[in-house]
Amino acid sequence: MKAGQTAAERLKTAIDPREFDTPEFRRDPFPLYKRLRDHRPIFRDGFHGRWALSRYDDIVAVFQDNERYDRALYRPEGPYKFGERSVFGPNILEYGNGERHRWMRNIVADQFVGNRLQAFLPYIEMIARELLDKISQKAADDIAKGFSDSGEVELVSEFTSQFPVRVISNMLGLPRHDEDTFVDWYQRLIAGMGSGQYYVDGIHARDEIWDYLEPIIEERMEDPGEDLVSRIVTAELNGKRMNVGEVKGFVALLLAAGGDTTDKAIANMWYHMLYTRPDQFDEVQADHSLWTNVFTEMMRYDPVVHVQGRRTTCEIEIYDEVLPERSPVTLYLAAGNRDERVFKNPDTYDIFREDLHMGRELRSGRYPDGRAGHLGFGMGQHFCMGYAMARQEAIIASTRLCEAMKNPRPKFPNHEGITGPSINEGGFRAPRELWVQFDVA
């Protein structure tokens, strides 16, 4: 709210918090994000019991302030049993800024970057090749049977929703013959981040995963190998290891949250290339190294994850408001990514923009080229551990798809676009389906 506004001006720029629950917002939240940035950069949402921040610099400031903003819902010294209500069980996301969070993060953080990540790249290539072989074989069979004169694939169900879960399950060293089960669990866990029956089914999926994992974890504790489960159960920090419950929670988080964000990142990239910027897609097909720009601009323009949450640890003054201690604060990352104060023409998807840092993300959010980075992976203490793997998977998968499909193009001239899940269902923003046609030699 701007100081000195008249009652009529305040009414004109008012925001009804129920707008966040509408189908229109799930389809296209960006007009509301702009109104928040322009008129309510700190928005008191009494309906949902929270405050909301939407400007880029304000969100960066919160990421860098772990003294006054905490990620945890509960205090570590309190009576709440961590993981009790989470569909993932006890996991790194629940422990906030404290010592337990830092300890769990430091045990596993180096498994997803550098040389350790390079060792897992063959799994990414292998799974991509296997899924593409199925797509190519199906296209050849359809043409031979006279069903079609070109290849086609529904990219979401036949590739993106399969690919990252199968990759991470192989990295974890889980049996390949159970991959279809892992995909089912992953989908139920993600939906279970919502409420009602989705949540109940997510808890059931969590319990099924735990029962499945327990003997595997115990076996790897006794006889570790080179797989990721073995690395997690044997990793030590100051002589301590994770307990079995924490390992199960971490593996469930990897299967679900890591899989879903990468799944939808690939789908969002291809949607924008096919429907938003086919002119730039021509250049990407001529130079596959540009997929890194496609990924980065997607993470700015239309990221999979739009929000993160924090709680205040003390009273905080901001924009003439005072946030009470322990207030929930929603950081609208996707709103900050379209802040006109930072990015020129922010509502245009442009893989050649000169005001966005392209390439590998840095935890500090400060880049030598002086350009701003997207907010999609967060910054600071809670910077996404899987950022490098997500980028590698999305770029490798998109490159291999582009190599395998000659002249890829939309099957249908119009598309409903990227949308959020239903109000009760957990998950992230992506196209529900994406039909692609391609030539078969």
What are the tens digits of pLDDT across the range 75-130? 777 888 877 888 888 777 777 777 777 777 777 777 777 888 888 899 899 999 99
Most confident stretch, 48-57, 185-194, 258-267: 48-57
| Structural domains for the chain | 82-281+406-439 (1.10.630.10)
Q: What is the mean pLDDT of residues 209-224?
A: 93
Q: What is the pLDDT of residue 26?
A: 96
Q: Are strands 50-53 and 328-332 parallel, antiparallel or unpaired?
A: parallel
Closest CA to 420 of 25, 156, 154, 35: 25
Percentage of residues in the chain with pLDDT exceeding 90?
A: 67
Q: What is the mean pLDDT of residues 316-336?
A: 96
Dump pLDDT digits (tens) for 358-369: 999 998 888 999
Q: What is the pLDDT of residue 344?
A: 97
**What ranges make up the beta strands (E) of 47-105?**
50-53, 69-70
Q: What is the pLDDT of residue 438?
A: 93
Cβ neighbours of 197 (radius 10 Å) = 12
Q: What is the pLDDT of residue 11?
A: 67
Cα distance from N-terminal residue to C-terminal residue, the chain = 60
Judge contact between 345 and 337, C-beta under 8 A: no
Q: Which element (helix H / strand E) includes 211?
A: helix 196-222
| Res 233 pLDDT > 80 | yes
d(CA 245, CA 237) in angstroms, rounded, equals 17
Q: What is the mean pLDDT of residues 310-336?
A: 96
Q: What is the mean pLDDT of residues 369-387?
A: 90
Tokens linked to 241: 């290891």
Q: What is the mean pLDDT of residues 374-387?
A: 89
Average pLDDT over all residues of the chain: 91
Tokens linked to 391: 């980028």
| Res 148 pLDDT > 80 | no
Dump pLDDT digits (tens) for 166-183: 999 998 999 999 999 999
Q: What is the pLDDT of residue 6?
A: 67
Q: What is the pLDDT of residue 380?
A: 87
Dump pLDDT digits (tens) for 280-295: 999 999 999 999 999 9
d(CA 52, CA 262) in angstroms, rounded, equals 26
Q: What is the pLDDT of residue 95?
A: 76
Q: What is the pLDDT of residue 85?
A: 84
Q: What is the pLDDT of residue 9?
A: 65
| Res 139 pLDDT > 80 | yes
| Res 402 pLDDT > 90 | yes
Q: What is the pLDDT of residue 8?
A: 63
Q: Per-residue confidence at 3, pLDDT binned at 50, 70, 90?
A: low
